Amino acid sequence: MSESWIVGINPVEGALSNDAERIREVLVENGQRNARVHELAERAKALRIPVHHRPREQLDKVAGEARHQGVVARYEAPPMASEGDLPELLEQAGAQALVLVLDGVTDPHNLGACLRSAAAAKVTAVIVPKDRAVGLTPVVRRASAGGADRVPLIAATNLARALRTLKDAGVWITGLAGETETSVYDIDLKGPVALVLGSEGEGMRRLTRETCDFLARIPMPGAMESLNVSVATGVVLFEALRQRSAKR
């Protein structure tokens, strides 16, 4: 396990709500008058988490470039989930399994935003390649607005092998690719499915693409050729939810 700092009101609030047992202390800026910061401090005290008031300079130092808004929390991060956890997660989800696979998303803000959408869509797991992802950094946690605490993030040593594990469990895999003519709105996303998105620049790697059962694109009648990966993630995840909730 490694320690890191969770920075800002929403990320600290998310950690207190979802993973309070891993918070080691909360630092509040001296003279802080924000009511939400005071509320977080009181919640932490009620949970018997040490709360310390410190000069702004100390919070600036641990926050780095992030905006701390007068509150930070020292957090003992758990290890990321592994490929070995995947079969159990899929078994628990059953026919409602919805997996997000991100092949090459290395920007922490994009990964955080994808985790936020994944948590909102109640995704079973998010899978990233171990050597091409940023991990659960403080920036990712902040961008996820608590989503990083709500959805399992699996760092796969071998992404193609993880995709085969999905297939063996009866999960149908759809990859997003701009060059195909098939619309994602024409793909059946009910039942156990995985949605794969690649990096904005290169898209999915060849082996990842070849492992997919289907390829689809998000129709864009406007003048843009692609969407930011976090926006595309939200579009496809909530299309899956729309189909699953549609009356038969």
The length of the chain, given as a count of residues: 248
User: Is 198 marked as binding a ligand?
Assistant: yes
The Cα 155–Cα 133 span in angstroms is 8
Q: Residue 25: name the closest of 36, 15, 10 by CA.
A: 15
The Cα 244–Cα 121 span in angstroms is 11
What DSSP designation does 34 have? -
Q: CA 70: distance to chain centroid?
A: 25
**CA distance to 112, 125, 224, per residue, from 79 (Å):** 17, 15, 39
The Cα 119–Cα 112 span in angstroms is 11
User: Is 40 marked as binding a ligand?
Assistant: no
The Cα 195–Cα 145 span in angstroms is 22
User: Is 31 marked as binding a ligand?
Assistant: no
Q: Residue 148: name the closest of 104, 114, 107 by CA.
A: 114
Q: Which residues are annotated as a binding site?
A: 198, 218, 227
Q: Which residues are annotated as a binding site for S-adenosyl-L-methionine?
A: 198, 218, 227
